[in-house]
Structure formats: structure tokens, C-alpha cells
Structure 1
Amino acid sequence: MEFCDECGSMMKAGEGEDHWVCTACGFEKGRNEQEEAAMVTTQGQEASEIIDVSDAEDKGLPTTTVHCPECGNDSAYWYMQQIRSADESETRFFVCTECEHKWREDDH
């Protein structure tokens, strides 16, 4: 993918594909095969480079001491998320480190 030096829009390969043409302003520039070969593309990425961390023990979230209403465990991962209007506080979500029960805590 190439972006226009003049307006910043995305460019496409022109006729004969030896140059780039801007889709917005029509600016043209030549293609450089060496630079393009060095670019990382989604087609060029191997599946082995993707690491699945969905079952990771710590889930990448901080933990806190809080009582799980489902199993009684005293440790949970937590995160905050804005689910209501912007003038209201965020909602705290907890996920039990033992049974993975999920619950939320709202400020009132």
C-alpha cells in the first residue's frame, strides 16, 4: 500500500502497474520494487507468528482481592469499561481467577 505525497490518500497501481496513482488527486509516482519487497503485508505473515494468549493464566489483566459471589474465591482479574454516558463513571468488571465467573460493580 502506498499513500500520496500530495494529499495523503491511498494510491493504487496504475496501468501496467509500473507506477502509483492517487485515487483522490491523480498524483503519480514510480514504483520501487526493492522498497515494496521489504514491506510487511498481511498476506506475507505466517500463521505461526500469531500467538494465542486467550488461555494464558494471567489474561494480561491486573488482579485484586475481592470475594467471588459464585465460588467464594478471594482473587479476581479486573478491568474498567465505559458503558454508560460519558458524564457517568466507568463500570468495574471482575473475573474470578478460580471459576472465571464474571460480575460487575457500578458506582452509585
Structure 2
Amino acid sequence: MSFCHARDFLFCSMCGTLLSFDSLHFARCPLCGFKRAAGDIEGRETRYTVTAEDIRRELKIEPFVILESAPVDDEAVQRAVVNEECPQCRHPQLEYYTKQLRSADEGQTVFYECPQCRHKFSINT
């Protein structure tokens, strides 16, 4: 079986629509009626990849993990506060939140932000 490097042998030469195999003798374009002889296509190998995302999209299935959208500017983000001094401006409190960025058997990452000068830094715990 030969592999065709030209990717257009299954598409209409006139309008680019995918050809339909309505007969053993030819492939026909459902849009404009163009016909291509089956002998031109016979023995060609077609390869394609279907991802899990393609299947979910086609079947209209929600993704397994729904990413949270970024907060809108008007929406206030509430963060925990710790009594630690800012290394830049010496403000007595820092806001913080945590994320698991490394593998599950390792600690989480703590992100700090000063509410006064907006200095940001992180620590792996």
C-alpha cells in the first residue's frame, strides 16, 4: 500500500470539500458534484489522529477538568493573611495562597504578596 504525501487526493479539486464514496467506481463531491475515479484513490493510505479532546468536542461532553477563569477586575479576591514582615517594605503582614505545582509526593508552593507595596515571592514547602 503506498502512502500519499499529497493530502488532497480525498478532497474535491474544484471546491475543496471532502469526497464521498457513493459508488465502487468513483468518489463524488457532495457540494459541487465533481467525480474522481476510484482507481486514483485505490491503494492509498490515509493517516489521521483523533484526540480525546476531539471526541469530547464532537460528543459535546464537558472536559474532565474545568479551568477556573481569572477573577474579573471588580471581583475582590480574598486571600489568607499571615503575620510575616515584607522583605521589601517591612509591612507587618503578607497575603498568601498555595498551589500544588510539583508532583503529589512533594510539598506545595506558597505564594506571598505584600498588600502595601505589591512585592511578590514564593517558597516551596
Q: TM-score range by the shorter chain?
A: 0.3 to 0.5
Structure with more strand by fraction: 1
